[in-house]
Structure 1
Amino acid sequence: MPAVWTMFNFISALLAVVIAVSVLQGIARGATGSARHLLFIVTEGAVTVASLYFAWQGAKLLSPQLQTWLAERSIQIPTEAMGFFKQLYYTFVTAFRDFPLLRFGALFLIGYVVLKHVLYLIADPLLRIALPARFHRADERRPSLSSALAGGAIGAVTGFGRALLLVAGLFIFVTLFPHTPLSGYIQGSQLYQKGAKQVIEPFTGDLIASQLPVFTRAVEREIGNIMQRKYEVIDAAVPTDVAEAAKEVTAPGKTDEEKAKLLYKWVGSRISYDWNKVRDYEERGVWHEQTPEDTFHTRKGVCIDYARLYYVMAKAAGLDAKVVTGLGYDGQGGYGPHAWNEVYLREKSAWVPLDPTWYSSGGNWFNPPKFAETHVREA
């Protein structure tokens, strides 16, 4: 029994069921009903492919023009306090202007929905005109044996098409996540391997295998940039007392690096880690939101509060900085949610990382050589 169970593969079973159900549906519908169903599936596929293609081309054409139009409007994030909806507006508009994948994706999605609807409106009446009247109504009587057999054959073609679509989806998943247990299980299916190797791979070449992971990583980077933009908008207004403190702290610095280090030491040494805030969140599910001004005055916060305070103080001191979110090493072999900063040093023409939260733990966390081994940027 165990040997038989280990040989059984749910993916193969699922693909077989998809084909079998289509065959049974074909037999039940008969030749005319199955042919009509197959025709509508083919039409839907053609409309979908055409919509995807023209939406893609349209997005490629419109995206740079829209970026230019938005850039000419010189939209700037206000430096005064903003309400939630105003923050949301500036986050979206400036991200739409500055991040090409977001802009392209939105245009592509809108174009696809509109085009598919329009093409359906065109295709439906054309089919009704071109096809015999009997194709537009279901056979109310039970199909004859010959009609049922023909319907079953047509259903088999439909089933193979559906199965290939499922294989294509699984193929994309395996390409993106090759080292997961689920991917290994999928690849253990003989039916999946035949569909992937004999149809999907020859048809797509190295497009999916080589380009899709690259595209996915680019999307991940852009999501991180959008998260950064959110904090830029939320913390656009720097309180006067915070700005004055930042200028005073960085006054001895002559270079961007010296100013950035002075701020790193000041925030890291002046702010105490708020363990009560952590406990409230972990044990009661209560998150105490606070602004950089709150952190500045209470002298307490968690990693995101350290990072946001550093960001606004750096901005007030004339530095270009970022809030970065991701995972931080917990010292016990694992990683947990964390936030830190990056600051741009003009004399080095480079962004460098720093972690003011970890300042009090000892060691140098201002651009150390192996920073990336303990900090993993959010994907």
Structure 2
Amino acid sequence: MTDMTWLQSTSINLISILIVLTFVGSVIQGFFRGGSGSAKHLLSMLVEAVIVILSMFIAWKGVQWVSPVIQTWLKGQNLQIPTVEISMLKQAYYTAMTSIRDFPLLRFGVLFLLGYMIVKQLLNLLINPLLGSWLANRDPYRERSNSFISSVSGGVIGSVAGLARALILIAVLFIYVTLFPHSLITPYIESSQMYQKGAKEVISPFTGDFIADKVPVFTRAVEQEFTNILQRKYEVLDAKIPGNIADTAKEVTASGKTDEEKAKLLYKWVGSRIKYDWNKVTLYEEKRIWKEQTPEDTFNTREGVCIDYSRLYAQMARSIGLDVKVVTGLGYDGQGSYGPHAWNEVYLKESDRWVPLDSTWVASGGNWFNPPNFDQTHVKDA
């Protein structure tokens, strides 16, 4: 029995109720405000919508011009991750700055958010005083609070605002359903007749195929970039490569002629030399105490868990010139479920491709260096 079963078993759809309440609430609000107050509120809401749309448009166009300029400037700053120990503040600085430099979606998002906030603030400072002054002079008569005509007209105006709010709510739900078609709540949203009517008759014709075709592609790109940002965190954290780790990596891969041969030699060495630290797992599961350790700690103690294997492998691989990533996600536990896990991806120049490997699972037997169907037992974080 899923978490949503109790909702789906009821005859009343809460999504429909929420949409109706959004509309009715605006009507009631308009009724009590009266005609003049509701008109002012509706006008203010429309002006705010115009400011938001205009701010987004200006920020969007501005960032298209500014983004490559910022990237060029950052590249000129020679932001090289230090290979010495640095403070947590500096780690955060280098992670943020190099990520903004190297990842276009992140850079665009940060600049767009900053630009939007600045432009919106400026437009508010410019327009709101003019709007307030205009509204103050547009009230030729005073309506009594108990005027029936005023209340009715306020309710009518409130219904317009309520319709707009309901459509905005349906649009948000429509985007969610498009982005997460397999989530538990998606079928429940789609079962709402109110949602279906708004989505099919208003949202879908208005957006055409844009949301259905473009948004999922954009989402996958964001997921990939988010993974790369997580990877950058470990690159910064483990930038300093101790001499004993570098020497060992060089010795282990001495017989390797290609990137693939070197990567496999390191995979076998880490997987066979490091012992899985079950005590560390027990300490976390029973007492919620996480024993943080560096790759050098793992190398010296010869013990660790999956993230420790992966960070040590990455550091050894980088010391001999390989491009490598630390990947986090879920790993199959062999008992029908998945649990938190970490592994690596290494770039092979001779074949121009990234391949996955899992040195933690070497001891369990089998080949975990780029085997077929690797993604069936390993699911990346997104």
TM-score by length of 1: 0.96
CA shift, 1:141, in A, is 3.5
2:199 to 192, 196, 199: 196
Q: Any residues of structure 2 matched to 1:102-141 within 5 Å, and which?
A: 102-133=106-137, 135=139, 141=144
- Cα distance in 1 for residues equivalent to 2:115 and 2:42: 27
1:86 is matched with 90
Cα 1:40–1:365 change in 2 (3 A) is: same
Given the alignment of the two structures, is residue 98 of structure 1 paired with residue 102 of structure 2, yes or no?
yes
1:318 to 313, 316, 321: 321
CA shift, 1:179, in A, is 2.2
Structure 1 runs of 4+ with >4 Å offset: 134-137
**Secondary structure of the structure 2 residue equivalent to 1:344:** strand
2:77 to 73, 78, 81: 73
1:252 to 250, 255, 258: 255
- Cα distance in 2 for residues equivalent to 1:136 and 1:217: 55
Tell which deviates more after alignment, 75-84 or 301-310: 75-84
- Cα distance in 2 for residues equivalent to 1:154 and 1:345: 65
Given the alignment of the two structures, is residue 23 of structure 1 paired with residue 27 of structure 2, yes or no?
yes
CA shift, 1:233, in A, is 0.5
1:180 is matched with 183
2:347 to 329, 337, 344: 344
CA shift, 1:6, in A, is 3.5
CA shift, 1:140, in A, is 7.7
Q: Any residues of structure 2 matched to 1:1-379 within 5 Å, and which?
A: 6-133=10-137, 135=139, 141-379=144-382
The Cα RMSD (Å) is: 1.7
**Secondary structure of the structure 1 residue equivalent to 2:286:** helix
Identity of aligned residues (%): 61
Cα 1:39–1:143 change in 2 (3 A) is: farther
Amino acid at match of 1:123: I
Amino acid at match of 1:32: S
- Cα distance in 2 for residues equivalent to 1:143 and 1:315: 77
Residue pair 2:143, 2:150 contacting (<8 A) in 1 also:
no
Amino acid at match of 2:226: I
Q: Which runs of 5+ in 2 are unaligned?
A: 1-5
Cα 1:320–1:181 change in 2 (3 A) is: closer
**Secondary structure of the structure 2 residue equivalent to 1:131:** helix
Q: Which runs of 5+ in 1 are unaligned?
A: none
- Cα distance in 2 for residues equivalent to 1:225 and 1:30: 54
- Cα distance in 2 for residues equivalent to 1:374 and 1:164: 42
**Secondary structure of the structure 2 residue equivalent to 1:351:** strand
- Cα distance in 1 for residues equivalent to 2:104 and 2:139: 46
**Secondary structure of the structure 1 residue equivalent to 2:290:** coil
Residue pair 1:36, 1:135 contacting (<8 A) in 2 also:
no
Amino acid at match of 1:215: F
TM-score by length of 2: 0.95
CA shift, 1:314, in A, is 0.8
